[in-house]
Amino acid sequence: MVMPSQSPRSRSLGRGLNRGRRRRPTWRPWAVISAVVAVGLAWVLWPADDSPQPASAAQDTAVASDGAPQASGTPAQAPPPYAPSGHELQATPSLDRGPQVLAADPPARTAPRVPVEPPAAAMTGDFGEAMTMLGRGEFVEGRTLLSDLLFNRPGALSPHQAQMARDRLTQLNLDPDDDKHDGLIYGPDTVEGDTVAFDYRVQPGDRLGSLQNDVRVPYRFLERINNIKASRLQAGRNLKMVHGPFHARVVKSAYRMDLYLVSPENGRRVFVGSLPVGLGESNSTPEGRFVIKPGGKVGKDPDNPNSHGPSWRNPRTGEFWEASDPRIPIGDYWLALEGLDPENQDVTGYGLHGTDDPDSIGDQRSMGCIRMRDADIHLVYDMLFEGHSTVEIVP
């Protein structure tokens, strides 16, 4: 039974009526004893920390390091011991990345990942010596040793070392913004001891269009590296020239194109740079040795706003794109391939070109041709010489 003095009051009334009065405590001993017993039973019966616990809603779907969903209750996997190639990690495609690859799917039709090694393990032997040379500013010597390791000594480099070598040489040769050397190949200056680049003083009557035939390097590339226009060439000027032709080697399993020159001094390959490529669906890109077909280069002139690249007809659907159509799927540059081996001399219709689908770089989505990003196909178009530059395609 509730006493009148214990009936509920509002907060404001309670403060006014009870001011100066002391309320009598109403605790009961049996309640305290019951609480103590309950705590003791909970301590004894509660499961230990290592017993299975129910998964919370946040744990129902764990996400692995590559974005692939795993089974309910499975903890997220640790990151794999290799560097991602970039296009495999996106859940949705972006401009320069391909589709998501789920953990349960085989890694088919995607560029392989390169194992990562500890720096101390990677910087050993001749590879370590070559990288040390580059660090000391001995660019030609370091490039020569790394090129020898890449081209002439199979197995001398681990996959990670080979990737480091390709990345470093690509930067060394083709990066004109590097403060240390301004690009051994791409920049305007020559380096003492370089056997593939040399200085030339322009003679009266010289034209880049004729000089290109002497070195077998397109005049567009000579314009690039010397930052000049062919129409403004003047006698007495010094030019940087390159002993061409440039050649390419496409490694299908790596979705990679390696560019190189051949030293006129000793006939050995000099690594120039690596660029990513896209290939034919269902492994349809042909293999073997090819040459850039004479008359097979069609490209847009960046100095002429009225010029256009190639036109194209889809061989499967018959749909046709004019050269002036900005939506053309093959981009602004086309380099036709002509087979050199008995097995591929009858292979026609294949070439190097750009793409309106940058996601496809590093994947097999073309009809057999080799796709490249816009800036990369423009560079290759300016480097490879018709009838002399070879393209070797290997598995």
Q: What is the DSSP letter of 133?
A: H
pTM comes to: 0.70
Asked if the peptide bond before residue 245 counts as cis, ω within 30 degrees of 0, the response is yes
Distance CA 359, CA 371 (A): 11
Measured CA angle at 101 (ends 99, 105), to 5 deg: 140
Each of the 395 residues of the chain gets a pLDDT tens digit; together they read 344 334 333 333 333 333 333 333 444 444 445 554 454 544 444 444 433 333 333 333 222 222 322 333 333 333 333 232 332 222 222 222 233 332 333 333 444 444 444 555 678 899 999 999 999 999 999 999 999 999 999 999 999 999 999 999 999 999 866 555 458 999 889 999 999 999 999 999 999 999 999 999 999 999 999 999 999 999 999 999 999 999 999 999 999 999 999 999 999 999 999 999 999 999 999 999 999 999 999 999 888 888 889 999 999 999 999 998 989 999 999 999 999 999 999 999 999 999 999 999 999 999 999 999 999 999 999 999 999 999 999 99
Q: Which residues contact 85 (CB under 8 A, 6 or more apart)?
A: 110, 111, 112, 113, 114, 362
